[in-house]
Amino acid sequence: GSEALELHNETGSSIEMSDYQLVLIGYSSSDTVTFPAGALAADGYITYDPATDLGTNTLSNGGMIIAILNNTGTVIDQVGYGSSGHAPAPIYNWSTARVSSTGDDAVDFNMDDTPTIGLANDAASTNFGSGTVFFNEVFMDTLANSYDFVELYNSSSTGVDISGWWIVFGDDYEIPASTVIPGNGYFVLSKLDSLSSAVYFIPYGDPNYGAMYLFNSSMERIDQIGWDWLIQNIDTSYSCIPNGSRTYYKGYDESTTVDFEFTSSTEGSANSSSGIIETVNAELDYTVSSLSGVGIDIRGELDNAEISIMDVTGRTIYTSNFKNMIFAAKSGVYFVNVKTSDRNYTHKIEVIK
């Protein structure tokens, strides 16, 4: 019934908190407030309930950017979580805790199922891309605003025991004991499976976004994907294309989940690249799709926008102002970046000839 925002003074001197401001930026609101007067002891901790103690907006379940400013207005620390950044959005009774300080929110923060408010954090470290088991497909029932199934894939030729792993998607599901994914095989968690385990399988927080996290049995976060419900086609899967070919494990929205495309459903079997459905951005009214045997088809009406096309290595092979076009390309995987004055969208496309 309450929230906690914990700060740590890692210096060797006491800090007066009224010299600093807290900024909260959410999907539909923002707030700035000065911290109440009081000293934060050297190497000490202080905890606030944003609404009760500071009179600000509550912390968004879907995602926010949280920043601390000094008395000159300079940002001295910030973190984006959930739909607003790479750090995970914590679920009920869990926290998101700092585990390192590399400057990468995905690496520096991890979920903790046993929060340590007022004490040093003890959450597991992150370990993105480790092992061979990752998300491969998610099927969403957009009309019911829920997931029908989540699919993991083992890209190795050897079976992997995933007992005690966690799939977190607004609620949490612990994978039962003695669960082994065979080599080059699949594990599918269906809505019926989750409901039988008292998991509701409904996105938590902002209804416009979906985010999903994968933890191993040591609670290391090894994979995460995200997307925007508003630009998802009805009754389609969010699938890794080509099947099982993961290259980036720190996605939190569609532009950073570059290995996935909207396709027809292939539950428990290989994702079909021929089933790719055009990428539709309803917010900006354009489409990017694969034109079989030819290349990449880009359609829409955008002013003052740029297009960049990159090959699978990330090398830019074409750039221009946005326009309706068909870009002839060899067979392979490409990334199409559409850049406006304030937004960047990246789409992964596979051309088949």
Span 63-105, pLDDT tens digits: 899 999 999 999 999 999 998 899 999 988 899 999 999 999 9
> Coil, strand or helix: which one is 107?
helix
Q: What is the mean pLDDT of the chain?
A: 86
Confidence check: pLDDT of 196 > 50: no
In this structure, what token pair is assigned to residue 202? 């409904």
170 vs 80, more confident: 80
Residue 198 pLDDT = 42
Residue 206 pLDDT = 47
Residue 205 pLDDT = 45
Residue 192 pLDDT = 59
Arithmetic mean of pLDDT, 306-317:
86
pLDDT tens string 95-154: 999 999 999 999 999 999 999 999 999 999 999 999 999 999 988 765 555 567 899 999
In this structure, what token pair is assigned to residue 237? 């899967």
Asked if 242 contacts 273 with a C-beta cutoff of 8 angstroms, the reply is yes
Measured torsion, CA atoms of residues 157, 163, 168, 171, in degrees rounded to the nearest 10: 150
The residue assigned the tokens 């082994």 is 180
In angstroms, the Cα distances linking 123 to 102, 117, 170, 219, 222 are 16, 12, 19, 8, 14
Roughly how many angstroms between the first and final C-alpha of the chain, as a whole number?
56
Confidence check: pLDDT of 320 > 80: yes
Amino acid making up residue 181: I
Confidence check: pLDDT of 204 > 70: no
The fraction of the chain above a pLDDT of 70, given in percent, is: 87
Residue 281 pLDDT = 62
Tally of helices (H runs) and strands (E runs) in the chain: 2, 29
**Residue among 203, 311, 189, 185 nearest 247 (CA):** 311
Lowest mean pLDDT among 95-99, 189-193, 242-246: 189-193
Tell how strand 15-16 and strand 109-112 pair up: unpaired
> Coil, strand or helix: which one is 338?
strand
Sign of CA dihedral 221, 223, 227, 232: negative
Residue 26 pLDDT = 83
In angstroms, the Cα distances linking 50 to 5, 32, 68, 273 are 7, 11, 13, 46
Lowest mean pLDDT among 114-123, 177-186, 267-276: 267-276
348 vs 240, more confident: 240
In this structure, what token pair is assigned to residue 155? 């890209």
Residue 272 pLDDT = 78
Arithmetic mean of pLDDT, 21-32:
87
231 vs 257, more confident: 257
Residue 15 pLDDT = 96
Arithmetic mean of pLDDT, 21-26:
92
The residue assigned the tokens 């292939």 is 266
Lowest mean pLDDT among 112-126, 207-221, 231-245: 231-245
Report cis status (omega within 30 of 0) of the bond before 242: yes
Arithmetic mean of pLDDT, 282-291:
77
Residue 40 pLDDT = 96
Residue 230 pLDDT = 52
> Coil, strand or helix: which one is 50?
helix
Residue 68 pLDDT = 96
Q: What is the DSSP letter of 276?
A: B
Q: Measure CA 6 to chain center.
A: 23
CA distance 297 to 311: 15
Q: Other C-beta atoms within 10 Å of 189: how many?
A: 20
The residue assigned the tokens 């969208």 is 345
Task: Tell me, yes or no, if the pTM score tops 0.85.
Answer: no
Q: 328 exposed, middle or buried (CB, 10 Å; 0-12, 13-18, 19+)? A: exposed
Asked if 175 contacts 152 with a C-beta cutoff of 8 angstroms, the reply is no
Arithmetic mean of pLDDT, 309-316:
83
In this structure, what token pair is assigned to residue 66? 């949280």
